[in-house]
């Protein structure tokens, strides 16, 4: 059932077994799983089906350094479906090493293991519409597929048999709306959570204050609550209510909002693979119809030996903005920059001021490659614009096998990288706005530097070509566009010790018996992987936990609920 918050009678109380705050990938997955288990679910989503400027403005906030982090209302969408309405769809699981404590990554180690999450990955993959949970070429393809770089030795520091798989990209709101509308779950749109009230003892959440932009106001009472509002908003919600400590719910030890991680990503150098027998940096389509792509992954044993974080890299087209690539399609994209959504344009075309001379050279590139551009646009129209399963990205096959290297690296947890509330600056509903102070560490730079160096060494030693880059420019390159947008990790981290974590291994807030957090906020470390798939898998794990818990206590709850209704 889908309800408008404006239609809920004012000053009444909605009750449920589980109340989920946030209708994005995580909240919707959680709701679907609980629905399947027969749990009474109420999902509160601030937005509606379409984007709305006033709702989106509730996300606005400030950043400590605009060069290092995009404004908080970018890369996330306050509407039904959440940021899956704009995501790129890249899916990959975390690696077993990501869960382990590593003495060279500060504050690393999860209270759970890879094997605890593994059972939930296949269903997470299904929900993301990324096909089978098969992330190596050997498991995903019955027949051999093209090598990334033919001749890359088996003892290289990098493997090239792991895959990233792509979601449609699935807009969870559109995709699962009907299932939620038909089922017994209640989804309330336009419902903004404000203060969260604890009982006098401070151990249980008693009610949520819910408001609409139109001025309606009501309450929600549930037996259990789950915050699934994204890595930034979950921290904001926790901090905005005083809690037992007066410093925010779950924040007695000043951990909420700290350890904020994104990923370190950039495009660097020139990888000249002329001597290699073959190179393939495009997509393959698996039997289940999913776009898959190989990548260079720094092997876990090498991470241990080099004492660096997790790291992957992809072969990429040359930097768009420099017309020296002499490729019509790339110049066309560069010229089309103003028409590409901000979230994608930033890394594609942003950063460098264009002179009229470079502009003219780009135009020249376009004019000299009309057949190539026509073929590209036709493919784009058929397989991206009109297709429901979209071709994931721009892939340009260069005339000579020269590529740039696109990397995506783990960021070390750092308590000084944090989000806080901007007191004195409130949104339209009176909630304090967010301030983001994202930082990286020396170790983050070391991870990228060491990985690039070992790649350059391996490519040269195997006689596959050369990787030319400026080692002194690595840090500049990895923060050229600041933190990788849209990956908001670690702000309510999972751990065994309440002094250094916010939630326990079951994602329950240490301080509060009936409040849980779902999403990338709970990740203690960030991995090389994009967070959505693992966030969904953890949501499904939480759903299993909440359903089990219900089995032994549902009867008690029902009895209480019944008494309450009688008492009215």
Point out which residues bind another protein (CB under 8 A). 129, 168, 174-179, 182-183, 285-289, 386-389
Closest approach of another protein to the CB of residue 287, in Å: 4
> Which residue number, 128 or 474, has a Cβ lying nearer to another protein?
128
Burial (Cβ within 10 Å: 0-12, 13-18, ≥19) of residue 441 = middle
Measured from the CB of residue 293, what is the shortest distance to another protein in angstroms?
15
Q: Residue 553 is encoded by which pair of tokens? A: 């206590």
* Smallest distance from another protein to CB 316, Å: 25
3-class SS of residue 435: strand
Nearer to another protein, 123 or 209 (CB): 123
Least Å from the CB of residue 183 to another protein: 8
Tokens at 499, concatenated: 């002094």
Which of residues 272 and 284 has its CB atom nearest to another protein in the complex?
Answer: 284
Q: What's the closest the beta carbon of residue 285 comes to another protein, in angstroms? A: 5
CB of 176 to another protein, least distance (A): 8
CB closer to another protein out of 57 and 287: 287
Q: Which is nearer to another protein, 130 or 366 (CB)?
A: 130
CB of 169 to another protein, least distance (A): 12
User: Distance of alpha carbon 323 from its chain centroid, rounded?
Assistant: 32
Question: Min. distance of Cβ 503 from another protein in angstroms?
Answer: 32
Instruction: For the CB of residue 127, give the shortest distance to another protein in the complex, in Å.
Output: 12
Q: In the complex, what is the shortest distance from the CB of residue 541 to another protein, in angstroms, rounded to a whole number?
A: 21
Q: Concatenated DSSP letters for 359-413? A: HHHHHHHHHTTHHHHHHHHHHHIIIIIS-SS---S-----SSSEEEEEEEE----
The tokens describing 344, both together, are 């994608």
Q: For another protein, which is the closer residue by CB, 71 or 88?
A: 88
Give least dist CB 170 to another protein, A: 8
Between 138 and 287, CB nearer to another protein: 287
Bridge partners, residue 449, by sequence: none
Q: How far is the CB of 123 from another protein (least distance, A)?
A: 12
3-state secondary structure of 116: helix
CA dihedral of residues 498, 499, 500, 506 (deg, nearest 10): 0
Using CA atoms, how far apart are residues 193 and 196, in angstroms rounded to an integer? 8
Name the residue nearer to another protein (CB basis): 129 or 164.
Answer: 129
Residue 156, phi-psi category: left (phi > 0), alpha (psi -120 to 50), beta (remainder): beta
- Cβ-based nearer residue to another protein, 136 or 178: 178
CB 489 within 8 A of CB 243: no
Burial, 414: exposed, middle or buried (Cβ in 10 Å; 0-12, 13-18, 19+)?
A: buried
Q: Which two tokens stand for residue 227?
A: 């915050």
Residue 106 or 285: which CB sits closer to another protein? 285
* β-pair type (291-294, 284-285): antiparallel
Quote the CA–CA distance of 540 and 110 in Å, as a whole number: 18
- When the beta carbons of 75 and 166 are compared against another protein, the nearer one is 166
Which of 175/299 has CB closer to another protein? 175
Q: Which is nearer to another protein, 174 or 564 (CB)?
A: 174
CB of 273 to another protein, least distance (A): 28
Q: 317: which DSSP letter?
A: P
Alpha helical stretches, state H, 424-531: 442-461, 474-478
Question: What tokens does 189 get?
Answer: 């749109």
Question: Maximum distance among all alpha carbons in the chain?
Answer: 81
Residues in Cβ contact with 483 at an 8 Å cutoff, skipping those fewer than 6 apart? 68, 69, 70, 262, 263, 264, 438, 440
User: Is 375 in contact with 225 (CB distance < 8 Å)?
Assistant: no
**φ, ψ dihedrals at 509, nearest 5°:** -65, 125
Spatial distance between the Cα atoms of 202 and 383, rounded to a whole number of angstroms: 54
Residue with token string 């309606």: 216
Contacts 24+ apart (CB under 8 A), 339-344: 341/86, 342/74, 343/74, 343/75, 343/86, 343/485, 343/486, 344/88
């Amino acid at each position: 059932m889908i309800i408008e918050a404006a239609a809920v009678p004012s000053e009444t109380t909605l009750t449920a077994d589980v109340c989920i705050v946030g209708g994005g990938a995580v909240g919707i997955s959680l709701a679907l799983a609980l629905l399947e288990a027969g749990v009474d679910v109420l999902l509160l989503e601030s937005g509606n089906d379409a984007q709305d400027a006033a709702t989106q403005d509730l996300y606005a906030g400030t950043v400590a350094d605009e060069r290092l982090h995009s404004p908080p209302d970018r890369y996330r969408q306050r509407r039904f479906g959440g940021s899956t309405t704009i995501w790129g769809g890249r899916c990959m699981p975390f690696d077993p090493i990501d869960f382990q404590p590593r003495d060279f990554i500060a504050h690393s180690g999860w209270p759970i293991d890879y094997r605890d999450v593994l059972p939930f990955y296949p269903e997470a993959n299904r929900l993301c519409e990324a096909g089978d949970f098969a992330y190596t070429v050997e498991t995903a393809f019955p027949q051999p597929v093209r090598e990334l770089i033919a001749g890359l030795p088996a003892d290289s520091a990098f493997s090239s048999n792991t895959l990233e798989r792509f979601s449609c990209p699935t807009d969870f709101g559109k995709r699962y709306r009907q299932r939620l509308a038909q089922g017994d779950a209640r989804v309330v749109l336009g419902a903004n959570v404000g203060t969260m009230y604890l009982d006098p003892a401070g151990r249980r959440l008693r009610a949520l204050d819910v408001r609409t932009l139109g001025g309606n106001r009501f309450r929600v009472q549930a037996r259990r609550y789950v915050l699934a509002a994204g890595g930034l908003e979950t921290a904001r919600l926790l901090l905005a209510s005083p809690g037992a400590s007066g410093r925010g719910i779950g924040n007695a030890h000043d951990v909420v909002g700290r350890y904020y991680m994104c990923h370190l990503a950039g495009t660097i150098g020139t990888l000249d693979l002329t001597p290699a027998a073959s190179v393939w940096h495009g997509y393959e389509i698996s039997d289940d119809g999913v776009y898959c792509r190989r990548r260079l992954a720094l092997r876990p044993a090498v991470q241990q030996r080099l004492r660096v974080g997790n790291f992957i890299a992809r072969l990429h087209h040359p930097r768009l903005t420099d017309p020296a690539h002499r490729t019509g399609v790339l110049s066309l994209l560069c010229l089309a920059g103003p028409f590409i959504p901000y979230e994608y344009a930033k890394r594609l075309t942003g950063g460098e001021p264009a002179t009229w001379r470079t502009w003219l050279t780009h135009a020249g590139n376009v004019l000299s490659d009309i057949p190539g551009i026509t073929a590209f646009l036709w493919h784009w129209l058929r397989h991206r614009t009109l297709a429901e399963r979209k071709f994931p990205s721009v892939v340009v096959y260069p005339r000579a096998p020269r590529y740039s290297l696109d990397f995506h690296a783990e960021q070390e947890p750092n308590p000084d990288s944090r989000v806080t509330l901007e007191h004195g600056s409130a949104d339209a509903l009176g909630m304090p706005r967010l301030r983001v102070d994202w930082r990286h560490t020396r170790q983050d730079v070391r991870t990228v530097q060491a990985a690039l160096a070992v790649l350059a060494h391996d490519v040269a030693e195997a006689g596959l070509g050369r990787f030319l880059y400026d080692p002194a420019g690595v840090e500049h390159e990895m923060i050229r566009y600041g933190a990788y947008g849209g990956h908001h990790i670690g702000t309510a981290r999972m751990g065994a010790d309440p002094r250094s974590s916010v939630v326990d291994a079951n994602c329950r807030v240490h301080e509060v018996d009936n409040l849980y957090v779902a999403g990338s906020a709970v990740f203690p470390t960030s991995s090389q992987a994009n967070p959505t798939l693992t966030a969904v898998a953890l949501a499904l794990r939480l759903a299993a936990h909440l359903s089990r818990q219900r089995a032994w206590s549902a009867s008690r709850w029902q009895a209480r609920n019944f008494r309450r209704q009688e008492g009215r």
